[in-house]
Structure 1
Amino acid sequence: MIPTTYPSAEDIARLTAKALLEVGAVHFNARDPFIHTSGLPAPTYVDCRKLISFPRIRATLMDFLTVTVMRDAGMEAFDNVAGGETAGIPFAALVAERMALPMTYIRKKPKGHGRGARIEGVMAEGDRVLLIEDMTTDGGSKLSFVDAIRETGATCGHTGVIFSYGIYPEMAGTLGDHGVTLHALATWWDVLAEAKRQHAFDEETLTAVEAYLDDPRGWQAAHNS
């Protein structure tokens, strides 16, 4: 069912941050930093995949993502909703259901057998495709999925995510130079603000996280042993 209510972007960001904290998707640890796939340390980690196990929160955030994309990009802007393997697949299915559109998904690599396909489902030449993922850091990981969509003859100028780091200034250029607009519900700044309101972590941890968000590259360089 297509949502018909449109909360403000500020309310959506606050409620999304609150939901991520409520389900235990947010982890802060400055003393023993997490190592991201880049190999660099960070005092923050978010696991949006947890959301699929919480039906009420899941439904609310998918309503938020649907109305955000429709408000920002247009109500008739898309012909197909695609999810990126693997975390984007369930969220793409839920958004596609709400938008009453076909759903497809994109493999990270072609299958090693059969047709060797990267796109599963039906995606037609000329389709305007909305790429859905759970989150983005600096935007780079989205480009491979976008290129796979475009190789079919379809177009992809928009990607929607639940969570964007929001701390890497180069992200806008990474996606923008590729002709892609990002639509995100919340960032680390929204989560930090909500964590402070809730006193969800001790002051030392919150201060360290804020220092990281202010200068992620500098923080990583100082803590990369």
Structure 2
Amino acid sequence: KGFGRMAQIEGHMEEGARVLLVEDLATDGGSKIHFVNALREAGAEVCDAFVVFHYGIFPESTESLLQMGVRLLGLATWWDVLEAAQETGAFDEATATEVRAFLEDPDGWSQDREQGRQRE
């Protein structure tokens, strides 16, 4: 499917091959859906996607893939980072509270910050 930068799939793949999609990062899962569709169109069987880091704050990232029959697996999430930072003392309590507020409601947290900037 294309060459060089335009290639979606590199190398040889047998029809019906089981493929694990591996990526560095997942935010909302949109690009994973695109890649899974491309792999399936090329004849691959894709049941799992693995990322090194999964934001873990947008439920739709896993739900959309699950509806396609694909599990999204991650090595670490922001929740893991927060826990490690608190255990090691890397975050003071105010920072940990702010990060937790973002993780629990990223859209609301962002809107609150934007409204605060507009008032200044």
Shift of 1:137: 1.1
More helix by share: 2
Q: 1:195 to 1:112 in 2, by over 3 A?
A: closer
Q: Give the alignment partner of residue 44 of structure 2, picking from 150, 154, 162.
A: 154
Report the RMSD for the aligned CA atoms in angstroms.
2.1
Alignment correspondent of 2:73: 183
Which runs of structure 2 are paired with 1:36-55 in the superposition (5 Å)? none
1: CA distance between counterparts of 2:21 and 2:52?
12
What is the CA–CA distance in structure 1 between the aligned matches of 2:7 and 2:99, rounded to whole Å? 41
Gaps of 5+ in 1: 1-108
Quote how far apart the aligned CAs of 1:126 are: 0.6
Consecutive unaligned residues in structure 2, runs of 5 or more = none
CA contact (8 A) 2:86 2:92 kept: no
**Inter-partner Cα distance in structure 1 for 2:66 and 2:40:** 16
Instruction: Output the TM-score relative to the length of structure 2.
Output: 0.84
Corresponding residue of 1:145: 35
Partner letter of residue 143 of structure 1? Answer: I
Residue identity (%): 53
Give the CA deviation at 1:131: 0.4
| Alignment check: 8 A CA contact 1:135 1:164 kept | yes
- Residues 135-178 of structure 1, C-alpha deviation per residue, up to 9 Å, x if partnerless? 21121120111111111111111101122111112222211112
Give the corresponding residue for 2:22. Answer: 132
**Counterpart code for 1:212:** F
Change over 3 Å in CA distance of 1:219–1:155 after alignment to 2: same
